[in-house]
Amino acid sequence: MRTPHFHPCLLFLSLIQILIPLLVSGQCNDHQRSTLLQLKSTLEYDSTYSTKLVKWNQSDDCCGWEGVGCDGAGRVISLNLENETIAGGIENSTALFSLQSLERLNLAFNLFNRAQIPKGLQNLSNLSNLNLSNAGFGGQVPIELSELRNLVTLDLSTLFGGALILENPNLRRLVQNLPRLRELYLDNVDILAQKSDWCQALSSSLPSLTTLSLRSCGLSGPLDASLAGLHSLSVLRLDDNNLQTTVPEFIGKFPSLTTLTLGNYFLQGIFPDTVFQVPTLQILDLSYNKNLSGTIPKLPMNSSLRTMVLSHTNMSGGLPDSIGNLRMLSRIDLFSCNFTGLIPTTISNLTELVYIDFSLNSFIGSIPALRMSSKLTYLDLSHNSLTGSLSSNHFEGLSSLEYINLGSNSLNGSIPPSLFGLPSLQRVLLSNNAFNGQIEEFPILNLSNLDAVDLSWNRLKGSIPESFFQLEGLRVLSLSSNLFNGTLKLEKIFKSVPISPAKPVKSSFLYNFPELRNQSKLIFLDLSKNNIKGEVPSWIWNLGNGSLIHLNLSSNFLVDLQKPFEFPMFLAVLDLHSNKLRANNNLSGTIPEYLCNATYLQVLDLSDNNLSGSIPNCLVKNSALGVLNLRRNKISGKIPDLFSSRCGLKTLDLSQNNLEGKLPLTMANCTSLEVLNVGSNKIEDTFPCTLKNSSSLHVLVLRNNKFYGNISCSEVKGSWPNLQIIDIASNNFNGEINPRYITSWKGMMLENGAQLRGGHIRFEFLRNFYYQDAVTVTIKGLELELVKILTIFTSIDFSSNNFSGDIPQTVGDLSSLHLLNLSHNSFSSEIPRSIGNLQLLESLDLSDNQLSGRIPQDLSSLNFLSVLNLSYNNLYGIIPTGRQLQTFVAESYEGNSGLCGFPSNLSCVSESPEANSPATLKEREYDWRLIITSLGYGVGLILVFVPVALCKKWREYYSKQLDQFLSLIFPRLGFTKSSAGRRKRGRGRGR
């Protein structure tokens, strides 16, 4: 065998290959080292958190320092000081600006505290990459940056808006001298541009742009056609702007488009199909554009789509079978759209899927198996119309699945045991279906992460598997509203479960407290809606070794609290509403101040008891409190004027007590308030204008108090834009209603996003737990309690006050209004025709006012109107015909003498609407008087002149009596007029 040997030439080439990188990287010269050390000495940074600057020293080669890069000659061409906690020292840094060879500079994620971007950066003429993102710079972007003609990438973006602005210079002046720029990131920079000026500035100066990211820049105007000139565009991000426009067709013609995100900015019209078919497109996000419609077309075989987010849009239609072509798709989010039809079985072919959310749509049929999607972690198909059963095949191979929500469908059959065998499972939500049969015991070895199971509102039967109670990580278990039977051994359950279920034994009808006093890990206890009687045991406050967070004992028959009791410091929720707590119990007739020992208390509900006394000062001082509900007790005194400057209240319900005095001025500190209800007390005050800055207010109830004066505030623009329920009935308010108030209540208009999907007003606490608000509304004299306040329910009740003047025409702008009650006031003039615009109106009460004129024909188009009361006004004319107005009883129109036609009891003399107006009725009375008078004259003449003509004696007699006769006839005519008038009205009533 011959021994191989290397040729000398090959050996030389190998050495050259090794040495070239060393020669190119070079060693930095002394001048560069000293410049960098000088830069280090001038910068203000925290050495504790520094990972780069803190390592720079005299001895090492500066080209090897962290964050420093050099060329072959040892000159610094790259400087990366990202996330070095630099807070200053760069504004006039001659050291930095003398690094003339610098090509890449990264100062991102530092702490410059709104200092201006240094103008000296213009000296670094060789810069090709400048990254100042999230560095803390603020103010006007300097014009000097436009001198960096070699820039290829410029990133000035921030995570939060309001810091950097582009006004003078504007965007056009900034980019007009940057011909090489390929990537521009200006997220959250306030770009002050007129309409589409920004489009033209970019297309004319940066024709080779590949990346454009302008999220939250305050842009307006349409997407100008000039943008079509950016042929090389690959990434386009325009989320969170105010571009109320359609998406132009040319977006689908960018040949290299990979990312398109247009979320959250009022897009409208039909989205171009062609965008879905761009073969290079990887990320598409159109979320939160409720007026954007369209369908998903046939998708190409060569699609590169990885992420498709269409949530909260008006996209509709079915999913095409070609969705199976998206072999690279990992995330698809169609939450809250209008999709229909079957979920294609071809979705089973998508092996890269990680996230699926099809919830809140109208999908039907069965759920396809997803066993090929081994990477799937999140699956939400809830709130559809899916049917059929589940089999073990549905979950085969889903080893990564963490979250599954199939709730609120029509699924049936048994729940396959294999579901609980998935090793990564954390949450299983299958409520509100038709699942039946028995749940089998399942192995718990691989379920250490399972923390929430909701199987409520199904038809499950048999015994509850003990496996549930052996899950050490389980935090929430909801099994209510099923057909389970058998016996629960509570002591055994609570020994093994470290935290109580959210609805633990709701349907078990406990009559006594279960023995839980030794539960050292129990921090969440809900025993609501049972039949527990007697006293709340004192040991309950020591659960979890004094770390109890949530205690709900509402809707029982509890009458007292055992002594001694000390509320745990970390208690966040205490709900004792709807019990029998006495006013003469251990609470000594008042709410105890030691409740405030619970420093982190977020929810306190003591409503529907018999508590008396005053409200403790410390409760309103508590800035952590989010819900305070003392409704329907016997609490008296004044509301303490001690609300914290950091008030965190979202719900304050003090209704149906005996409170008096005024609303506290410090209540204005509660700027996050969503529900304020002080109805049915004895409060005597003016309208609460001090709360006009509470922009989050949804519900305001002041009814049945002693409020007085007008409701005009000095500033009304923008007041309470989210208001959806206002009830100020049964007070002493007066004056006219300012039309501008009405137009500021955007929460009652369909344009508001909350109106497009039903939800509930609720307070979220302890992550994923909710406190549900309630309110009472009055419809047709009946008080109805809305246990859950829908975000789509809106009502106005100004009844039983002293309002006067016109009903504002602007009430017709409240297009999502359901209830309007202005009865028992002194409103005059006509019923506004604009009320006919309120197509969702269900109840309208304008009775007992001084309204005049005709009933607008527009009201007949209110298809949902089920309660109408226009009685006791001065209305006249024919009751309009149509779909609605003639379906109501006659009492809806009584007390209006000029109204006629069905369903009233008055017939109309003429088909003309004016026939029964007061003026016409008066004229008609005079017509009848004239006829009767003329007839009287005629008969009289015959009786007088015939005898006179035939008999001389009669002529002489009447000649003598003529003057007396003429003097008497006019008073009698006057009497006849009055009598005729009364007769006419009497006949009208009798018809």
Domains, in order of start, for the chain: 21-111 (3.80.10.10), 510-673 (3.80.10.10), 694-850 (3.80.10.10), 919-990 (no CATH)
Average pLDDT value for residue range 535-557: 79
Q: Where are the beta strands (DSSP E) in 266-357?
A: 268-270, 283-285, 289-294, 307-309, 313-317, 331-333, 338-342, 355-357
The confidence band for 449, taking pLDDT boundaries of 50, 70 and 90, is confident
The confidence band for 783, taking pLDDT boundaries of 50, 70 and 90, is low
The confidence band for 250, taking pLDDT boundaries of 50, 70 and 90, is very high
More confident residue, 174 or 610: 174
Position 488 scores a pLDDT of 66
Average pLDDT value for residue range 273-295: 95
Position 436 scores a pLDDT of 95
Residue 572 has pLDDT above 60, yes or no: yes
Find out whether 475 and 500 touch, Cβ atoms under 8 Å.
Answer: no
CA distance 30 to 274: 58
Q: Two tokens at 393?
A: 């095949």
For the ranges 117-131, 454-468, 572-586, 838-852, the lowest mean pLDDT is seen at 572-586
Q: Strand, helix or coil at 56?
A: coil
CA distance 951 to 724: 88
For the ranges 552-561, 615-624, 675-684, the lowest mean pLDDT is seen at 552-561
Give tens-digit pLDDT for 301-322: 999 999 999 999 999 999 999 9
Residue 778 has pLDDT above 70, yes or no: no
CA distance 916 to 874: 12
Give tens-digit pLDDT for 480-505: 888 888 766 655 555 555 444 333 43
- How far, in whole angstroms, is CA 919 from its chain's centroid? 52
Among candidate residues 639, 633, 688, 687, the one with its CA nearest the CA of residue 660: 639
Q: What are phi and psi of 254, to 5 degrees?
A: -75, 115
Give tens-digit pLDDT for 645-700: 888 888 899 999 999 999 999 999 898 888 999 999 999 999 998 887 777 888 99
Residue 948 has pLDDT above 80, yes or no: no
Mean pLDDT of the chain: 80
Position 931 scores a pLDDT of 42
Find out whether 819 and 777 touch, Cβ atoms under 8 Å.
Answer: yes
Position 830 scores a pLDDT of 94
Find out whether 27 and 63 touch, Cβ atoms under 8 Å.
Answer: yes
The confidence band for 747, taking pLDDT boundaries of 50, 70 and 90, is confident
Residue 420 has pLDDT above 60, yes or no: yes
Residue 758 has pLDDT above 50, yes or no: no
Question: What pTM, to 2 d.p., does this model score?
Answer: 0.58
Position 278 scores a pLDDT of 95
Average pLDDT value for residue range 464-486: 81
For the ranges 311-315, 440-444, 460-464, the lowest mean pLDDT is seen at 440-444
For 563, other C-beta atoms within 10 Å of its C-beta total 8
Helix (H) or strand (E) holding 613: strand 612-613
For tokens 């990131």, the residue is 185
CA distance 641 to 541: 30
For the ranges 38-47, 369-378, 508-517, 954-963, the lowest mean pLDDT is seen at 954-963
Q: What is the b/e burial string over 585-611, where b = at least 16 CB atoms within 10 angstroms of the residue's CB?
A: bebeebbeeebbebeebbbbbbbbbbb
More confident residue, 332 or 777: 332
> What totals of helices (H) and strands (E) does the chain contain, helices first?
12, 61
Average pLDDT value for residue range 739-765: 60
CA trace torsion 299, 301, 307, 311 (10° rounding):
10
Give tens-digit pLDDT for 588-598: 356 777 777 77
CA distance 804 to 453: 57
For the ranges 630-644, 757-771, 976-990, the lowest mean pLDDT is seen at 976-990
Q: Two tokens at 749?
A: 């208009």
> What's the sign of the alpha-carbon dihedral 171, 172, 177, 178?
positive
Average pLDDT value for residue range 619-645: 89
For the ranges 155-164, 324-333, 407-416, 453-462, the lowest mean pLDDT is seen at 155-164
Q: What are phi and psi of 860, to 5 degrees?
A: -70, -10
CA distance 683 to 706: 6
Burial of 787 (0-12, 13-18, 19+ CB in 10 A): exposed
Average pLDDT value for residue range 979-984: 33
For the ranges 271-275, 282-286, 528-532, 580-584, the lowest mean pLDDT is seen at 580-584
For 282, other C-beta atoms within 10 Å of its C-beta total 19
Average pLDDT value for residue range 100-115: 92
Residue 939 has pLDDT above 50, yes or no: no
Q: Two tokens at 104?
A: 């890449």
For the ranges 27-41, 271-285, 533-547, the lowest mean pLDDT is seen at 533-547
Position 214 scores a pLDDT of 93
pLDDT cut 70: percent of the chain above it: 79
HSE-up (13 A, CA, CB side) for residue 593: 5
Residue 445 has pLDDT above 70, yes or no: no
Residue 956 has pLDDT above 50, yes or no: no
